[in-house]
Amino acid sequence: MNDRSDLAQQASLVQRLASALTAQDQPCQLFETHISWVLVTPTYAYKIKKAVKFDVLDYSTLYARHRLCEEELRLNRRLAPGIYLDVVPITGSFAQPLLGGDGGRIEYAVRMHAFPQQALWSARLEQGQLDAAEVEALADKLAAFHASAAVAPAGTPWGSGRFVDKAARQDLATVESLAESGELRAQAHLLTVWQSTQERVLDLIAQRKAQGFVRECHGDLHCGNILTLDGKVEVYDCIEFNDDLRWIDVIDDLAFVVMDLRFHGQPGLAAMLLERYLEASGDYSGLAVLGYYLTMRAVVRAKVCLLRARALDGAAAAGHAALARRYLDFAAASVQPGKPPLVIAHGYSGSGKTYYSGRLARALEGIRIRSDVERKRLHGLAPSTRMAAPAGAGIYSDDSTRATYARLLELARYGLRAGLPVVVDASFLQRWQREPFERIARERGAEFRIMHLRAAARTLRARLAQRVRDGRDASDAGPELLARQVAISERLGARERPQVCLINTESGDADRVLAALAASLRTDR
C-alpha cells in the first residue's frame, strides 16, 4: 500500500529541489522510476527514494528511507567507490527544501558523481560500441568482487535449493497469471513443467550454498547498471532494499549480465565474459547451475515487462508485452541446449595454441580452458607467477602433468554439460592425454576435433624468447621445456587424423583455415 498524499508531497519537494538547483546555475534533469527520483546536475546526481511499499521493498517511512540510503551507499561503494559519495539530508521545509543544512531532516538523498547516459552499457550496446576489452575488465572486476564478498551465514535461507525453488515457482506463477494471450500462458506453463524437473540442479545449488558460493552480491547485474567512464568499467545500483535478492550464488549474479548480452544479440561478448570470469575465479563447477540461472533471469525479466504492461496503456503496454514474449522465447530456447563441439589444441610451446584456441573459442561462442592457468591453480599459484622449475620437475613433473590433464578433462565436462563449445589449450603431445577427451566427446555425441598448430623450430624458439621478455603470459615455457616436448611427443595416429585440422601458423593461410574449422563446427551444431 502506498500513501498518495506522501507521494504527492515528495513529488512537489523533488520539483522544488530541481528548480532550486537550476536557479543556482546547475541545470537539472529529472529521472523517475516506480521507486525513486534522480536529480542530475552536470556534477552530481541525487537519488531520492519514493515513499512506497511493495512485496519486495519498504520505503514507506522516513526512517526506512534513511537506513536504506546508508545501505545503498555501503553496498555500492564495494564496486563503484568513485561514483557513490555520501548520503545528504534534505532540510528546510517541503515548500523550501535544501540539500544539506543543519535543520530538521525531511528527506534523504544518495549523492553520486553524475555520468552521461551514453556511458551505460545498454546505450553502448545499441550504438555497437561495447568492445572485448570492456567485457574482460568487467569479468576481472566481478571475479575479484565475488571472491571478497561476504559469505552467507550458516542457517540463513538465502541461496538454498528450497529457497531458490520457491522463488522460481512464484515467478513462473506470476508470469502465467499476467500473460494475457494463450501463447504466452502456454510458454509459461512449459517453463513451469521444466522447472519442476530440476531436482538435480537444485541439489547442486544446495551443495554450492554449503561450499560458500552464496554471497552478498550485486543482485541486479544487467547492462543498464554497468557503464564505461573514462576507460574504466563501473558497476552501480546494487540491490539494497531486499536481502533475498542480493544474497545469491555468485553464478546467479554473473548469469544476469551473460543473459542480457545474449538477449541483446551479443553471444560472442557473453561467451568472452564467461570465459574470462571462469579463468579468473576458477569456478567452473558453477557451469552446472549456470543454465538454470540463465533461464530464470530471463523469466524474471519477462515478469517485470508484464507488470509494466499491466500498469500502462496503448502502445507502451503492447511494447512491454512484446518484450516479455521475447524473454520467454529466450528462456524456452535456453532449456534445450544443443550438442556443442569439443576441440583440443595440439602442438609445441610457441606454435600459437593459446592465440588460435582463443580465437576459435570466440568464433564458436564458447569457452577456452588453459593448461598453463589450471596447472598453476592446482599448485595455489597465480597465472602471472613465473616458475623457474626445470622441465620434468616441480610443477612440471609427470605427476603434476597428469593432475593437470585430469583437471582439464573435468572442466571440459562441465562446459559440455552446460551446452558450451569447449576449446582446450594444452600441448596434448601424448596419446594418453588426447584419448580421454575424444572419449567424453563421443559419450555426449559431440563433434571432436584436434587443432594441430605447426611452426618451424626457429620460429618456436623466437616466440618463446619474446614471451619471456614480455613476461605477461601464464606460460613458463622456454628452450628446455621445448626440447623435452620434442623428445616425448607421440605422432598423431591414423585413427586420429580424420579429426585433425592442421594450421601452419607461419602461413598466410592460417586465418582462412581457422575460419573454415569454426564454420564446420557451427554447421555441425
Specify the CATH number for the domain of residue 429: 3.40.50.300
pLDDT digits (tens, 9 = 90+) for 41-51: 999 999 999 99
Residues 83 and 206 grouped into a single domain: no
Residues 81 and 141 grouped into a single domain: no
> Which residues constitute the domain of residue 405?
342-524
Q: What is the dihedral of CA 347, 401, 394, 275, to 10 degrees?
A: 70
pLDDT digits (tens, 9 = 90+) for 289-335: 999 999 999 999 999 999 989 888 899 999 999 999 999 999 999 99
- Check which CATH number belongs to the domain holding 279 and give it: 3.90.1200.10
E strand or H helix that includes residue 444: none
E strand or H helix that includes residue 341: none
E strand or H helix that includes residue 194: helix 182-195
Structure-block grid coordinates of residue 313: 496503456
Residues 271 and 416 grouped into a single domain: no
> Position of cell 555520468?
115
Report pLDDT for 5: 75
Phi-psi domain of 297 (left: phi exceeds 0; alpha: psi -120 through 50; beta: other): alpha
Q: Which of 308, 334, 311 is nearest to 322 (CA)?
A: 308
Residues 322 and 360 grouped into a single domain: no
Structure-block grid coordinates of residue 522: 557451427
pLDDT digits (tens, 9 = 90+) for 157-206: 999 999 999 999 999 999 999 998 888 899 999 999 999 999 999 999 99
- Out of 270, 305, 334, a domain closes at 334
pLDDT digits (tens, 9 = 90+) for 387-397: 665 666 788 88
Residues 307 and 368 grouped into a single domain: no
Q: Are 114 and 249 in contact (CB under 8 A)?
A: no
State the Cα–Cα distance between residues 18 and 194, nearest whole angstrom: 49
Report pLDDT for 146: 98
Residue with the bigger pLDDT between 446 and 1: it is: 446
Say which residues have a Cβ less than 8 Å from residue 31's Cβ, sequence separation at least 6. Answer: 37, 38, 40
pTM: 0.92
Residues 379 and 402 grouped into a single domain: yes
Residue 287's identity, in one-letter code, is L
State the Cα–Cα distance between residues 113 and 236, nearest whole angstrom: 11
Say which residues have a Cβ less than 8 Å from residue 199's Cβ, sequence separation at least 6. Answer: none
Report pLDDT for 522: 82
Residues 40 and 151 grouped into a single domain: no
Residues 435 and 475 grouped into a single domain: yes
Q: Which of 167, 163, 223, 183 is nearest to 328 (CA)?
A: 183
SS3 502: strand
Residues 270 and 213 grouped into a single domain: yes
State the Cα–Cα distance between residues 80 and 112, nearest whole angstrom: 10
Average pLDDT, the chain: 92
Q: Are 82 and 111 in contact (CB under 8 A)?
A: no
State the Cα–Cα distance between residues 52 and 326, nearest whole angstrom: 30
Q: Are 364 and 522 in contact (CB under 8 A)?
A: yes
Report pLDDT for 439: 97
How many separate domains does the chain show?
A: 3
Report pLDDT for 25: 80
Residues 389 and 503 grouped into a single domain: yes
- CB-count exposure of residue 450 (10 Å: 0-12, 13-18, 19+): buried
Residues 242 and 189 grouped into a single domain: yes
pLDDT digits (tens, 9 = 90+) for 467-494: 767 666 666 666 677 778 888 899 999 9
Report pLDDT for 79: 97
Residues 349 and 264 grouped into a single domain: no
> Position of cell 537506513?
67
Report pLDDT for 1: 42
On the question of pLDDT at 466 being above 90, the answer is no
Q: Where are the beta strands (DSSP E) in 389-513?
A: 422-425, 448-454, 500-504
On the question of pLDDT at 513 being above 80, the answer is yes
- Out of 87, 114, 141, a domain closes at 114
- Out of 56, 86, 114, a domain closes at 114
- Min mean pLDDT across 162-171, 256-265, 389-398, 447-456 is at 389-398
